[in-house]
């Protein structure tokens, strides 16, 4: 125990300093006794008083050093505890990402698939989605804005959440423009959620239509800007 260590160290220092004081006194003689008609008894009394003062100062010094070390140890322990707590929150929180964004040209809808790659469920999930057409000159035509989608069940560990977006506006003319590369369909937004610690997080997502040999691919391109997670 630290109390025993303090007492042991203090006694060791007191013993060393007392031996040094006695040796010094014996080498100098009773001239330390400043009283008139000093006797050997008075000389020893003065010596013992001086040794006691040294012992008290040594004890105070040892206690101060030990208390300083105890404070430093407590600070280090607190820092380690806070680091472990933050590490645990990072390791145990939910991480929701957009896994796929698929287009069904025939039935005219898009399916967004989100997956929780974290260790605990994502709760209080909310989703927004914007659907746009952008031509090859960079001009956007806003098709629809899906308002905040709430009441989404918690997404468990490794579970997925799918959200379907109707694309009834894709008529023959629009489909031809997309196939020819003159127009691109984009879907973007964010999904907000809370982890088990009550912290809020946001994942932004963005998908855009892809074409190959004038055919609209089922899988949207989600590798561009707009995809992020805090």
Domain boundary among 31, 65, 92: 92
Domain boundary among 27, 62, 92: 92
Going residue by residue through the chain (230 aa), what tens digit of pLDDT does each one get?
555 565 556 655 665 666 665 555 555 555 555 555 555 555 556 556 655 656 666 666 666 666 666 656 666 656 655 655 667 777 889 999 999 999 998 899 999 999 999 999 999 999 999 999 988 877 777 777 767 788 899 999 999 999 999 988 888 888 888 898 889 999 999 999 999 989 999 999 999 999 988 899 999 999 888 888 88
Residues ≥6 apart with Cβ < 8 Å to 88: none
Number of structural domains the chain divides into = 2
Q: Are residues 222 and 157 in the same domain?
A: yes
Q: Are residues 112 and 144 in the same domain?
A: yes
pTM for this entry = 0.63
CATH code assigned at 141: 2.60.40.10
Other CB atoms within a 10 A radius of the CB of residue 60 amount to: 11
Q: Are residues 22 and 114 in the same domain?
A: no
Q: Are residues 74 and 102 in the same domain?
A: no
Domain boundary among 60, 92, 124: 92
Pick from 24, 42, 22: nearest CA to 33: 42
Q: Are residues 160 and 183 in the same domain?
A: yes
Q: Are residues 87 and 177 in the same domain?
A: no
Q: Are residues 88 and 20 in the same domain?
A: yes
Q: Are residues 157 and 81 in the same domain?
A: no
Looking at residue 86, its pLDDT comes to 67
CB-CB contact of 21 with 49 (8 Å): no
Q: Are residues 37 and 130 in the same domain?
A: no
Residue 213 backbone zone (phi > 0: left; psi -120 to 50: alpha; other: beta): left
Task: At 49, list the tokens.
Answer: 């008083």
Phi, psi of 145 (to 5 degrees): -125, 115
Pick from 75, 21, 74: nearest CA to 50: 21
Domain that holds residue 53: 2-92
């Amino acid at each position: 125990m630290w109390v025993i260590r303090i007492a042991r160290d203090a006694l060791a220092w007191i013993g060393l300093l007392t031996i040094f004081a006695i040796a010094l006194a014996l080498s100098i003689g009773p001239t330390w006794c400043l009283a008139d008609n000093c006797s050997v008894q008075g000389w020893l009394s003065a010596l013992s008083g001086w040794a006691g003062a040294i012992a008290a100062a040594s004890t105070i010094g040892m206690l101060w050093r030990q208390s300083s070390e105890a404070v430093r140890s407590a600070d280090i322990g607190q820092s380690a505890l806070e680091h472990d707590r933050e590490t645990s929150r990072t390791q145990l929180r939910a991480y929701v990402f957009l896994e796929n964004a698929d287009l069904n040209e025939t039935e005219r809808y898009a399916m967004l698939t989100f997956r929780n790659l974290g260790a605990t469920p994502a709760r209080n999930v909310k989703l927004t989605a914007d659907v746009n057409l952008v031509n090859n000159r960079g001009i956007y035509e806003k098709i629809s804005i899906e308002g905040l989608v709430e009441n989404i069940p918690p997404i468990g560990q490794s579970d997925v959440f799918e959200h379907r977006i109707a694309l009834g506006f894709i008529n023959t003319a629009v489909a031809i423009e997309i196939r020819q590369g003159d127009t691109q369909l984009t879907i973007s937004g964010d999904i907000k959620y809370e982890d088990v610690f009550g912290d809020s997080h946001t994942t932004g997502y963005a998908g855009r239509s892809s074409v190959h040999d004038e055919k609209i691919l089922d899988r949207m391109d989600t590798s561009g800007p707009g995809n992020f997670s805090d």
